[in-house]
């Protein structure tokens, strides 16, 4: 009863190893083989360094043979572990954002060929690792701005082979990986599901209307904690995340989401939304793990184009803006019901907001003034009130710079412009 199968130690030692762990073990063993070379023990003195190297190599070869055998699986009757479903774009964009940290002048530009499926089955973690390697090599070569591209090269029995490269030259760093095409059938089935995390009711109503016009089903959250809880319960196609939210802001929520996704093996594109147009804010969003940036003042067409870029193979279209439409109707894609609701929200919430800003100026409360001016600036953009939005931005910047002496005059100029807008909105959208 002392006999045992040779594969037992391997099976018992790592019975619960995941696909990723197996690949890491294999990679380590292959590196051992490369380091030890083709040493043979027959002509080497016992206990020499070369003898020990040959012994290590022999053990690595035996371990590799066990990895390739069926005994490595904890239960031979079980089906192999199912690979993750994800979009190539959702992995490429964050990887491109890391180029600047590796020495490139800026983040890499991503170009996904239409031949690449919108959804694939495979290993996103391995893809992330390989992309990181070629971007590092391209940045180290010092060839200026990097273009990270992906194109389907050929169909194989095991799936579709996709070529990834970091550069346009023939000798640019590149690699190929094979995935299973899991793109949804174009049968007019279940609409895509979007999560909108936004604490500003006015912005939330307008963006929700625009997402619904693109045939999304929309779920909403008013802070980062709520967004994370919903992301854990539902399988979203895309998440639109406001940067500034109470309890947990958008960037902190995205970092937590990415940590959570590493355990699940699926990555959801996250689109940052903000009233800010600063390049530094865009950079911080990419560094936090977001995939794109959408100003709140963007038109429905701009939203459709941005979302299409994050979900390749799926084109989102909306009606063109008409010149005769008001800025608010243009912002809601011509949806009069959503525009009326947005106007009602603005008419109800703006007077109390302005009163709080007056108190903040009187008491020198810079933090409250920065917060309220930022919110008001974003709201005014939906109504085409450029002068008022510019005054709100000037108040926000002045409060940030601690130069409080110029705030009273800015505030009263802003009040005058906002009161004019409120009167116009009551006339156009007020109760009949």
**Inter-CA distances, 390 with 364, 376, 385, 397, 413, Å:** 21, 10, 9, 10, 11
- CATH code, domain with 150: 3.30.565.10
- Is the domain of 101 the same as that of 48? no
Q: How far apart are alpha carbons 117 and 120 in whole angstroms?
A: 6
Q: Is residue 5 part of a domain?
A: no
Cβ-contact 310, 89 below 8 angstroms: yes
Q: Which of 72, 94, 121 is the last residue of a domain?
A: 72
Query: Strands, E, within 4-57: which ranges?
Result: none
**Inter-CA distances, 399 with 176, 243, 368, 369, Å:** 52, 19, 9, 7
Q: Which of 150, 181, 212 is the last residue of a domain?
A: 181
- Is the domain of 311 the same as that of 360? no
- Residue 324: what pLDDT? 44
Beta-bridge partner residues of 218: 194
- Is the domain of 302 the same as that of 410? no
Q: Which of 181, 202, 229 is the last residue of a domain?
A: 181
Counting the structural domains of the chain, the total is: 4
- Residue 35: what pLDDT? 57
- Is the domain of 146 the same as that of 199? no
- Is the domain of 223 the same as that of 242? yes
**Inter-CA distances, 157 with 113, 170, 294, 345, Å:** 21, 27, 40, 56
- CATH code, domain with 374: 1.20.120.160
- Residue 40: what pLDDT? 44
- Is the domain of 373 the same as that of 256? no
- Is the domain of 163 the same as that of 201? no
- Is the domain of 202 the same as that of 310? yes
- Is the domain of 90 the same as that of 127? yes
- Is the domain of 371 the same as that of 393? yes
Q: Is residue 250 part of a domain?
A: yes
- Is the domain of 211 the same as that of 309? yes
Q: Is residue 9 part of a domain?
A: no
- Is the domain of 203 the same as that of 307? yes
Which among 54, 34, 56 has a CA at the least distance from the CA of 43? 54
Beta-bridge partner residues of 176: 163
- Residue 238: what pLDDT? 93
Strand order from edge to edge, sheet including 292-295: 216-221, 192-197, 238-242, 270-274, 292-295
Q: Is residue 326 part of a domain?
A: no
- CATH code, domain with 255: 3.40.50.2300
- Structure tokens of 191? 């609409």
Q: Is residue 332 part of a domain?
A: no
- Structure tokens of 3? 């006999």
Say which DSSP state 83 is in. Answer: P
What SS3 state is found at 384? coil
Q: Is residue 218 part of a domain?
A: yes
Burial of 290 (0-12, 13-18, 19+ CB in 10 A): buried
| Domain span at 255 | 192-318
Across the 432 residues of the chain, what is the mean pLDDT of every consecutive 10-residue run?
Answer: 35 44 60 54 49 63 54 39 72 79 73 80 89 86 79 81 83 90 60 88 89 88 92 89 90 92 81 84 87 85 86 65 64 82 90 90 88 88 87 88 80 88 84 60
Q: Is residue 1 part of a domain?
A: no
Q: Is residue 329 part of a domain?
A: no
């Amino acid at each position: 009863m002392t006999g045992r199968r040779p594969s037992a130690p391997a099976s018992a030692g790592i019975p619960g190893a995941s696909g990723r762990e197996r690949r890491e073990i294999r990679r380590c063993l292959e590196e051992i083989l490369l380091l030890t070379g083709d040493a043979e023990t027959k002509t080497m003195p016992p206990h020499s360094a070369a003898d020990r190297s040959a012994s290590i190599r022999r053990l690595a070869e035996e371990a590799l043979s066990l990895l390739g055998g069926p005994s490595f699986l904890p239960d031979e009757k079980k089906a192999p572990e199912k690979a993750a479903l994800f979009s190539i774009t959702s992995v490429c964009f964050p990887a491109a954002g890391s180029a600047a940290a590796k020495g490139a002048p800026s983040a890499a530009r991503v170009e996904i060929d239409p031949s690449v499926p919108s959804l694939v089955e495979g290993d996103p973690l391995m893809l992330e690792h390989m992309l990181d390697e070629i971007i590092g090599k391209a940045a180290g070569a010092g060839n200026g701005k990097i273009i990270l591209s992906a194109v389907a090269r050929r169909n194989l029995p095991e799936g579709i082979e996709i070529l990834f490269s970091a550069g346009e030259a023939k000798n640019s760093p590149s690699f190929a990986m094979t995935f299973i095409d899991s793109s949804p059938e174009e049968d007019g089935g279940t609409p895509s599901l979007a999560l909108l995390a936004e604490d500003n009711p006015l912005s939330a109503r307008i963006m929700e209307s625009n997402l619904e016009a693109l045939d999304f089903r929309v779920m909403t959250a008013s802070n980062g904690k709520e967004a994370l809880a919903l992301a854990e319960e539902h399988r979203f196609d895309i998440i639109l995340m406001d940067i500034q939210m109470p309890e947990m802001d958008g960037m902190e929520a995205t970092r937590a989401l990415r940590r959570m996704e590493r355990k699940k093996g699926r990555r959801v594109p996250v689109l940052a939304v903000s009233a800010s147009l600063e390049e530094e804010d865009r950079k911080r969003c990419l560094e936090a793990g977001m995939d794109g940036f959408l100003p709140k003042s963007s038109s429905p067409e701009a939203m459709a184009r941005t979302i299409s870029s994050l979900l390749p193979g799926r084109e989102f279209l909306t009606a063109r803006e008409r010149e005769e439409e008001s800025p608010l109707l243009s912002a809601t894609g011509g949806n009069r019901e959503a525009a009326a609701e947005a106007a009602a929200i603005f008419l109800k919430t703006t007077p109390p907001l302005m009163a709080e800003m007056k108190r903040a100026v009187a008491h020198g409360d810079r933090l409250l003034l920065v917060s309220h001016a930022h919110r008001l600036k974003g709201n005014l953009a939906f109504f085409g009130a450029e002068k008022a939005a510019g005054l709100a931005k000037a108040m926000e910047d002045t409060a940030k710079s601690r130069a409080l002496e110029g705030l009273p005059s800015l505030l009263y100029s802003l009040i005058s412009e906002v009161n004019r807008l409120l009167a116009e909105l009551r006339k156009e959208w007020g109760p009949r």
